[in-house]
Amino acid sequence: MYIDGTNLVGYKIKKSKTTEEKKAYIDTLLMVYDQRIANFGNEGKVLGRKGTDMLKYMSDQPELVFNTLEKSVQLGEDKSEAGALASYMTAAVLMERAKKIDAAKVVEIFDQVSNIIATNITKYQGSKTQEYYIKSQESVDGTASPYLSCEILVEMANKNYEQNKSDAKWMEKTADLLDRKGCTDAPIFFTIAKELHSNNPS
């Protein structure tokens, strides 16, 4: 009832003749997701699908969309679906444009989402599911690309280095991101890499 219900209500939204009718069916769609969670659980996965539909129909309310998808990924972690991860990245960009979060948060979410996708690309090697995650990463890369120039990444690394230089996880993630985006000629990359090596030679 709930799995097919979202498709049925989605069809009614598509065929709506007035704004009021469409809004009523969107409310119904969200209710279907909420009822599915109430009766069958699996909250992380269902919130991911709910958030993706919210992004489609409610992009003018980015905070609601973002909060739903953020909770989905927090609950689902590495089990988050490919579509939900791509939607989460898009919602983050909408939030930054609305000045609800800063560019640093967008980059942080990009890194988080990319790590989850990479885990699943490896996990589902050679399967149809792997293709979904590969397409999701392509979407994520395209959505986040304006925030991933060396100029922005280096500026953020410089700005946040002092307060995070004792945080090994931040140091590793920042060095990895700078490396992946070809920003290794920046002095801050050398500073971080040198610090990492002195603490954990490899």
Is the alpha carbon torsion for 167, 173, 139, 7 positive or negative?
negative
Give the model's pLDDT for residue 59: 94
The answer to whether residue 202 scores a pLDDT higher than 80 is no
Q: Which of 15-24, 88-97, 127-136, 174-183 has the lowest mean pLDDT?
A: 174-183
* Alpha-helical runs (H) found in 77-102: 82-97
- Residue closest to 26 by CA, chosen among 53, 65, 66, 63: 53
Distance of CA 77 to the CA centre of its chain: 11
- What's the alpha-carbon Rg for the chain, to the nearest Å? 20
What does the alpha-carbon distance between residue 185 and residue 172 come to, in Å, rounded to a whole number?
17
Express each pLDDT in 82-130 by its tens digit: 999 999 999 999 999 999 999 889 988 998 998 899 899 999 999 999 9
Express each pLDDT in 151-171 by its tens digit: 888 988 898 888 888 888 888
Give the model's pLDDT for residue 35: 96
What does the alpha-carbon distance between residue 89 and residue 136 come to, in Å, rounded to a whole number?
10
Class of residue 192 by CB neighbours under 10 A (exposed 0-12, middle 13-18, buried 19+): buried
